[in-house]
Amino acid sequence: MKLRLPCMQCFQELGRPTDEMLPVELRDDGLYEATCERGHTTVTAIQEQKYEVLFDLAAMALLDGYPREAIASMAAALERFYEFYVFVLSLEHKVDPNAFAATWKLVDNQSERQFGAYLFASLLYSPNTVPKVIEEEQPLLPGIAKGQTRTWRSFRNAVVHKGYMPSTAECLVYGDLVYRHITELTLELKRSCAESLQRANFAHLSKAHGGGKSVSTMSIPTLLSFVREERPASLAEALKELEKYRTWLHHK
């Protein structure tokens, strides 16, 4: 899957974007270098957080008929969201971003410790409230008795580590669980930590500009964007929205 980006230098020189869209392969660092037909080589940074991009990849995999790949990307998106959530709360408590980055490296390869960091960061911020989790939730599935379905944790592990091949119906149900969970926590951050949320986004963009190159920034639509005011209430509704914008934003 590739992104389609305009040439930002053409935009600056002409005062408008050209019709040319440059296909670029998705990158882990969110930095995209491309050369347009006029010879401009530009580097563009995507403003969106990694968890947003990962979840959209999951949703597109689901639309394309790859439920197993969808669940793997959703699981990764949730882990990266927990990291982002902890970072925002750390900023709220005046933690230095560099100190946070150095500390996170100590648990960078241990997902259970990262989940523990989320739990206690959430508890410290709201001392009288048990953190919101979905790991032990058992959603309802057609034809299966209530309480007999796998938990999200068990389902995720079966797919990611044991080669279980889920149905599309299962993927929609468990994916909706993840979608609603991230949405709820995002709205919570927007209500209580709006300034720290913006600082976290600024820190994300600052990394892109730290390599010495001239970098333009660009925002793309995502289903879990924290800057949007309204969002679909369910994954099923979100998939309909994705079908509309993926045709012009993404290139297979």
Answer whether residue 81 shows pLDDT above 60.
Answer: yes
The stretch 216-239 carries a mean pLDDT of 92
Q: How much is the pLDDT for 211? A: 59
The stretch 83-102 carries a mean pLDDT of 97
Angle between helices 152-162 and 168-192 (to 10 degrees): 120
| pLDDT band at 145; cut points 50, 70, 90 | confident
Percent with pLDDT over 70 in the chain:
96
Q: Name the residue ranges covered by the structural domains of the chain.
A: 2-46, 50-203
The dihedrals phi and psi of 41, each to the nearest 5 degrees, come to: -105, 120
* Range in 36-45, 54-63, 80-89, 186-195 the model is least confident about: 36-45
For residues 25 and 91, give the distance between their C-alpha atoms in angstroms, rounded to a whole number: 32
- The more confident residue out of 39 and 229 is 39
Question: Left (φ > 0), alpha (ψ -120 to 50) or beta: where does 25 sit?
Answer: beta
The string of pLDDT tens digits covering residues 3-28 is 888 898 898 899 888 889 999 999 99
Answer whether residue 89 shows pLDDT above 60.
Answer: yes
pLDDT, mean over the chain: 93
Q: How much is the pLDDT for 125? A: 94
Answer whether residue 60 shows pLDDT above 70.
Answer: yes
Please report where in the chains the tokens 């197993």 appear, as a residue: 68
For residues 43 and 55, give the distance between their C-alpha atoms in angstroms, rounded to a whole number: 24
The string of pLDDT tens digits covering residues 200-213 is 999 998 887 655 56
Q: Which of 214, 240, 234, 226 is nearest to 49 (CA)?
A: 226
The stretch 22-44 carries a mean pLDDT of 92
